[in-house]
Amino acid sequence: MRITSSIEYAARLMLTLAREHGKAPVSAESLSESDGIPSDYVSQILVKLRRAGIIQSRRGSSGGYSLSRPPAQITLGQVVRAVDRDVFEDVCGKYDAGAKDCRHQERCSLSPVWVRLGGVINDYLESVTLAALLQEKP
């Protein structure tokens, strides 16, 4: 249970884009430099963020990436989920004890606890918006 590089990177990228919200799109290359992320890796993360619908892209010269909503309407939860699997998607898949790919058959006796933990984590992540983070770190 830890914060992976992808999560950290995604959060940094979103924060940078939040600062540029309303201005011109930012290129992947520029984001790579300003946020200290390998340039070939940054694209992959940006793709996930775009597919999650929280950023937009524009190709061609003077193209780049920008938020698709105001910073106040994007939560950390949305960012984390864009690049990471669900928190409560655990050893038993999605705790669907009946699922045929469940590695532990009927032994998932603890599911309710993990689901509740996932809820707690999610509630916190949803309570933090990019706008709030910006206020903290302008």
Partner DNA sequence: GCATTCTTGACTAAAAATGTCAGGAATGTT
Partner DNA sequence: AACATTCCTGACATTTTTAGTCAAGAATGC
H-helix segments, the chain: 5-19, 28-35, 39-51, 76-83, 111-127, 130-136
- Report, in Å, the least distance between residue 27 CB and DNA: 4
Which of residues 25 and 77 has its CB atom nearest to DNA in the complex? 25
Tell whether residue 83 is a contact of its own copies (CB under 8 A): no
The three-class DSSP label of residue 56 is strand
Phi then psi dihedrals of residue 74, to 5 deg: -120, 125
Cβ neighbors of 78 (< 8 A, separation 6 or more) are 52, 54
Q: Judged by CB under 8 A, which of 13, 46, 76, 130 binds its own copies?
A: 76
Q: Which two tokens stand for residue 2?
A: 């830890």
Which of residues 88 and 131 has its CB atom nearest to DNA in the complex? 88
- Report, in Å, the least distance between residue 124 CB and its own copies: 5
Q: Judged by CB under 7 A, which of 4, 73, 105, 127 binds DNA?
A: 4
Calpha distance 48→52 (Å, rounded):
6
Calpha distance 14→76 (Å, rounded):
9
Q: Which two tokens stand for residue 96?
A: 């669907």
Binding footprint of its own copies on the chain (CB under 8 A): 1-5, 7-8, 11-12, 15, 35-36, 76, 80, 84-85, 87-92, 103-105, 107-110, 112-114, 116-117, 120-121, 124-125, 128, 133, 136-137
Binding footprint of DNA on the chain (CB under 7 A): 2, 4-6, 9, 25-29, 38-41, 43-44, 46-47, 50, 57-65, 84-85, 91, 103
